[in-house]
Structure 1
Amino acid sequence: MRKSLALPETGGYHIVRYKQRKASERKEAWRKDRNKGIGGSDMSVVLGISRFKTPYRLWLEKTGKKEPEDISGKWAVVKGNALENKLRQRFRLIHPEWQITDGTDAVLVRDDKPFMRASLDGAIHDPETGEWGVLEIKTAGSRRYGDWHDEDGDLKVPDYYLAQVTYYLAVTGWKWGIVYADLSDGNEPVELRVERDEDDIWAVERAAAQFWHFVSADIMPEFKDQTDVLTCFPEPVDDGIVDLDSDEKTVDLMRAYADVKAAAKDAKDAEDQLKQQLIVKIGGATGIEAGGYRATYKAFERGAYMVKASSGRRFAFSKPKKTSKGDK
């Protein structure tokens, strides 16, 4: 196993190091510095591909209008923090040909665009080529397992993590990175290499610059969903109805929604009619099976708790799993 090197200053960026005595103090100093720029975990939000946060909500945080949610107590975060060093040690063990550097308590800040900041889990030095690469460590819950596989079942880096690693390559100028991830499937962590792609680099740099302009100029970005609207406008500020008949995009949106809503109603009406026909077929039985499907109309009783007591029959439709003849 090769000896670790210090985080390198390979040009194009400088390193901010947190040297407070206690780990908690270093963590707090790092947290306070997050509003000085855009970090890697922010990149999927900036690009609009995050499931957990919108650009508007991130903008509120970066402009100091709203405190970020404290997620330190969430199990996924607790688990990730607990395993990060173990996974880094494991990666170092299986790659004795490389020198692995811990990126904790340091932030890489790009010189020409200081709002671009990278907090690396680690850095990889290849002595044979002299090149450095990004090490990004992940722990994935079983519910996110599908994000790590394409339609053919082959491993892939999820888009939201690919955006993060690409952003780190943009900050450092390095050519490659490794995503090392425990997929919580009982197997060895997986290792996926990410090569620098200049088109992707341009895309994340452009998105980061645009978003940071919104922050520095205090310009609100577009809303993405209902949560953004409710956050900004808990109640209407105008009792009037805005006429947008001259806005072609809005007209198209209204018509598309009307079409989908009508189609959904037609589908619901058709479903109800078919459901009634199946209930008639069931009659006094508990259920019926045909064509690999099962329809049931079972009796139920619900005691009085928070709601009135009730009883009756409940319809259900499913495609049961095939069982062997010996199964009941």
Structure 2
Amino acid sequence: MQANIFIQTSDIGHEEWLSYRRLGCGGSDAAAIAGVNPWKSPISVYFEKIGEAPEIEENERMYWGNVLEDVVAKEFAKRTGFKVQRRNAMYQHKEHEFMLANVDRVYIKDGHVAGILECKTTNEYSKDQWEDDKIPNHYYLQVQHYLAVTGFQEAYIAALIGGNKFVYKKINRDEELIEYLIKIEADFWKMVQDKTPPAMDGSSDADNILSYLYPESEPEKEIHLDTLEDKLKDLERIKADIKELDKQKKEIEQTIKNEMEDAEIAHIGERKVTWKTVISNRIDSKKLKKEKPEIYEQYCKESKSRRFQIK
């Protein structure tokens, strides 16, 4: 392994580990910076690095991912015959110091440490992303980032899918992709150092960050943003286009429904269209408030958000 040890992680707490993560770009950050992480955007990573992002609470998916990591590693060792070792350290690229790596494990082949083992758990709905030789793009970039930092020529990624399917796949070092990652991470890290956030990208993650940073408006406060006049015109044009496309969408749906009449299923070429009866129960809040105001007040929960309008 060619990387420097940035910090030993065996004796530090979670909060301290997070503070070290903010000092550079890690493997899970790489895919977000490249725009292929399904859960995180570049803007979110930026605010994490400058210490202004909301704290992420561990959810069930994250919890079981951590619990089952050791199970995945042991199964990989069993199926390959390789010895697997934990590496309780965060590594740093020898040349590009902003690149960090907190690898799950390494594996030993022919008597020496041969590469990185990355362990994943995922749900049944993701199985198509693992078929044949496929590896989800965000995981592939994560592993290439680790190869860049550590200097290894190969890695394996092992995954437990839906709790009942195990796969493992070899990933070879891709120098062209690594050069690309180094460039975009260097550009991103300069933004962090200069406190210049990346552009908004339309993701729900960016929405969440904005809601966290600016949860309430200051009453009567006004500003002028004349430099965004062209952006506003673009927005109005796009909204008009969406309205027209939505009208066309509804016309086509109505045409199909009219032909289906009372049929629940229609076959159109190789596709199947369903128009099913769905029964749902909802609370009539207006009636409840009128007839049982004390119960309504007891269970009514106030929510607060900011409404964006153009006049």
TM-score, normalised relative to structure 1? 0.71
Moved more, 209-218 or 256-265: 256-265
Instruction: Give the match for residue 129 of structure 2.
Output: 147
Instruction: Give the match for residue 159 of structure 2.
Output: 181
Instruction: Give the match for residue 291 of structure 2.
Output: none
Percent identity between the aligned chains? Answer: 24
Instruction: Give the match for residue 63 of structure 1.
Output: 50
Q: Establish whether residue 51 from structure 1 lines up as the match of residue 51 from structure 2.
A: no
CA displacement at 1:144 relative to structure 2:
2.5
Q: In structure 2, what is the Cα distance between the partners aligned to 1:272 and 1:27?
A: 54
Q: In structure 2, what is the Cα distance between the partners aligned to 1:162 and 1:305?
A: 49
Contact 2:27 2:142 survives alignment (8 Å): yes
What runs of 5+ residues in structure 1 fail to find an aligned partner? 1-9, 310-328
Q: Partner amino acid for 2:78?
A: L
Q: In structure 2, what is the Cα distance between the partners aligned to 1:245 and 1:76?
A: 43
Alignment size in residue pairs:
277
Q: Establish whether residue 121 from structure 1 lines up as the match of residue 94 from structure 2.
A: no
Q: In structure 1, what is the Cα distance between the partners aligned to 2:92 and 2:210?
A: 33
CA displacement at 1:30 relative to structure 2:
2.0
Aligned pair in 2 of structure 1 residues 114, 177: CA closer, same or farther (>3 Å)?
same
Aligned pair in 2 of structure 1 residues 295, 178: CA closer, same or farther (>3 Å)?
closer
CA displacement at 1:261 relative to structure 2:
2.7
Instruction: Give the match for residue 190 of structure 2.
Output: 213
RMSD over equivalenced CA pairs, Å: 3.3
CA displacement at 1:193 relative to structure 2:
1.0
Contact 1:122 1:136 survives alignment (8 Å): yes
The higher-RCO structure (CA 8 Å, 6+ apart) is: 2
CA displacement at 1:27 relative to structure 2:
3.7
CA displacement at 1:230 relative to structure 2:
4.2
The equivalent position to 1:83 in structure 2, one of 68, 73, 77, is: 68
Deviations 1:264-291 (Å, cap 9, x if unpaired)? 213324544664x469x55xxxx57766
Aligned pair in 2 of structure 1 residues 219, 169: CA closer, same or farther (>3 Å)?
same
CA displacement at 1:257 relative to structure 2:
4.9
The equivalent position to 1:306 in structure 2, one of 285, 292, 299, is: 285
Instruction: Give the match for residue 263 of structure 1.
Output: 245
Describe the SS at the equivalent of 1:36.
coil
Describe the SS at the equivalent of 2:285.
coil
CA displacement at 1:90 relative to structure 2:
2.0
Q: In structure 2, what is the Cα distance between the partners aligned to 1:85 and 1:243?
A: 53
Contact 1:39 1:116 survives alignment (8 Å): yes
The equivalent position to 1:136 in structure 2, one of 88, 96, 118, is: 118
CA displacement at 1:301 relative to structure 2:
9.5
Describe the SS at the equivalent of 1:65.
coil
Q: Partner amino acid for 2:142?
A: Q
Instruction: Give the match for residue 135 of structure 2.
Output: 157
Q: In structure 2, what is the Cα distance between the partners aligned to 1:39 and 1:238?
A: 39
Contact 2:83 2:107 survives alignment (8 Å): yes
Q: Partner amino acid for 2:23?
A: K
Instruction: Give the match for residue 292 of structure 2.
Output: none
Contact 1:15 1:108 survives alignment (8 Å): yes
What runs of 5+ residues in structure 2 fail to find an aligned partner? 289-311
CA displacement at 1:179 relative to structure 2:
0.4
Q: In structure 2, what is the Cα distance between the partners aligned to 1:92 and 1:293?
A: 46
Higher relative helix content: 2
The equivalent position to 1:95 in structure 2, one of 80, 103, 112, is: 80
Contact 2:5 2:89 survives alignment (8 Å): no
Q: Partner amino acid for 1:199?
A: E
Q: In structure 1, what is the Cα distance between the partners aligned to 2:242 and 2:139?
A: 33
Aligned pair in 2 of structure 1 residues 304, 209: CA closer, same or farther (>3 Å)?
closer
CA displacement at 1:48 relative to structure 2:
1.6
Aligned pair in 2 of structure 1 residues 303, 79: CA closer, same or farther (>3 Å)?
closer
Aligned pair in 2 of structure 1 residues 295, 166: CA closer, same or farther (>3 Å)?
closer
Correspondence list, 1:163-242, <5 A: 163-184=141-162, 186-187=164-165, 189-225=166-202, 227=207, 228-234=209-215, 235=217, 238=222, 242=226
Q: In structure 2, what is the Cα distance between the partners aligned to 1:202 and 1:99?
A: 30
Q: Partner amino acid for 2:43?
A: Y
TM-score, normalised relative to structure 2? 0.75
CA displacement at 1:294 relative to structure 2:
6.4
